[in-house]
Amino acid sequence: MSLFKEYNNDLFFFARVPFLKEIGTWVIFVFSLTSCSLFKPVVTSPSTLNEEVFLNERDVEEVPAEKGKDKINIIPYWKKKVDDFPSKNKASANLTLRHNVIAEAEKYVGIPYTWAGKSPETGFDCSGFTSYVLRKFDYNISPSSKDQAKLGVPKALEDSNPGDLIIFRNDKNEVFHVSFITDIQPQVIEVIHSVNGGVKKENLFNNTWWMNKKMEIRSILPSP
């Protein structure tokens, strides 16, 4: 294939500088007056972006082996399956679930506190509130704070995530309260819970009464 005569003026003017020249659906990559490469761009159809890509032998690039080593086949990154990173996708889904739990809990801010209350209609006590919200996401847990303190897995406070339960114990080590954690930062332990005055969000760092109580974390929701 000779392109020199037809494109002499514009194609090889900067012969020492590699550049691209588009000819129809083909592209010529010019390295020098005597060296060029012709290739056709690959366009990925948007309709396949969320589908599994099945490969055949022609879709695999073969990398020459070094001396004494076997050849290596590399699948081009654009041909990899969408689910090549399941752990990352799973973590993202778990974090979304946790934020959805908190968003659901926030819907009930202002609902009055009622001892042994388990619904917005009757009002909530602390554990009635947490169990009601989690049931919305098919976590059918006991409405007892003492039972909730035994569920899930323990975590350090600094490792907690939105949607984890924070359990409070009195001086006799008895469970007496439970809240949802909504945010953990330096000087911030933000929770949403049902207390005297009703369901509300607050930063426990601003309340010395809560900060003097023993706290522990129980994680029922999957980890992000």
Question: Which residue in 204, 223, 57, 93 sits closest to 153, CA to CA?
Answer: 223
Query: Could you tell me if residue 138 is left (phi over 0), alpha (psi between -120 and 50 degrees) or otherwise beta?
Result: left
Q: Averaged over 145-157, what is the pLDDT?
A: 97
Same domain, 180 and 96: yes
Tens digit of pLDDT for each residue in 100-125?
Answer: 999 999 999 999 999 999 999 999 99
Same domain, 206 and 110: yes
Residue 148: which domain range?
87-219
Same domain, 108 and 30: no
Give SS3 for 89. Answer: helix
The confidence score (pLDDT) of residue 91 equals: 84
Tens digit of pLDDT for each residue in 25-51?
Answer: 554 444 444 444 444 444 444 444 443
Q: What is the CATH number of the domain that holds 164?
A: 3.90.1720.10
Q: How many residues does the chain have?
A: 224
Same domain, 22 and 100: no
Same domain, 20 and 117: no
Same domain, 31 and 95: no
The confidence score (pLDDT) of residue 89 equals: 84
Rounded distance between C-alpha atoms, residue 140 and residue 219, angstroms: 14
Q: How many domains does the chain have?
A: 2
Give 147: exposed, middle or buried? Use CB within 10 Å, 0-12, 13-18, 19+.
Answer: middle
Query: Which amino acid appears at position 27 of this protein?
Result: V
Q: What is the CA radius of gyration of the chain?
A: 31
